[in-house]
Amino acid sequence: MSDTVIQELIDRYIELSFSVHRRGEALVKCQIGSDLTNDQHYTLRYISKAGSCTSTELAEEFDVQKSAITAIINRLWEKGLIKRTRDENDRRVVYLTLTDKGNELFYQAEERIYRLVETFITKFDQSEIKQFIETYEKLNQVLKESKELWWGNRA
């Protein structure tokens, strides 16, 4: 592969890693606005899809420390969007689920995002989107593996 293509991939990926989080933020806040941050929305999203999960699971999934999860869950809990339930068999474990309010807010946001994407999706054709998603997933996977490799050499 030519050097310029590698360099361009790097440029784009770094650009991506800088800007896309902010674009996501705009996406979540789009139109009527939800008062949710990108990270909060993504957390609701994960819990909604899982039905119920633990802090440890979220920390592993998001690749952050458990204390970061505690913080974000606290903020969602203060907004009344999340419920904490202790496991009766193993009393160390806390299950996280969405409250009715949490569910409602999440689905509202999802619907808004869907409507928005519909407005511009016509500019792409299906195969282009599919290809993009595939390459992204591959790239993400490769980066994840690489990361484990480097960090295995340290610490």
Nearest distance, CB of residue 129 and a second copy, angstroms? 5
Containing 25, the helix (H) or strand (E) segment is helix 3-29
How many CB atoms sit inside 10 A of residue 97's CB?
A: 16
Task: Give the whole-angstrom CA distance, residue 7 versus residue 2.
Answer: 9
Mask: binding to a second copy, 43-72, rule CB under 8 A, as x and -?
Answer: --x----------------xxx--------
CB 96 within 8 A of CB 55: yes
Nearer of residues 3 and 63 to DNA, judged by Cβ: 63
Indicate the residue type of 43: T
Give the footprint of a second copy on residues 105-134 (CB under 8 A). Answer: 110, 113-114, 116-126, 128-133
Give the SS3 label for residue 154: coil
Q: Which residues bind a second copy (CB under 8 A)?
A: 1-2, 5-10, 12-27, 30-31, 38-39, 41-42, 45, 62-64, 110, 113-114, 116-126, 128-133, 135-140, 142-144, 146-147, 150-151, 153
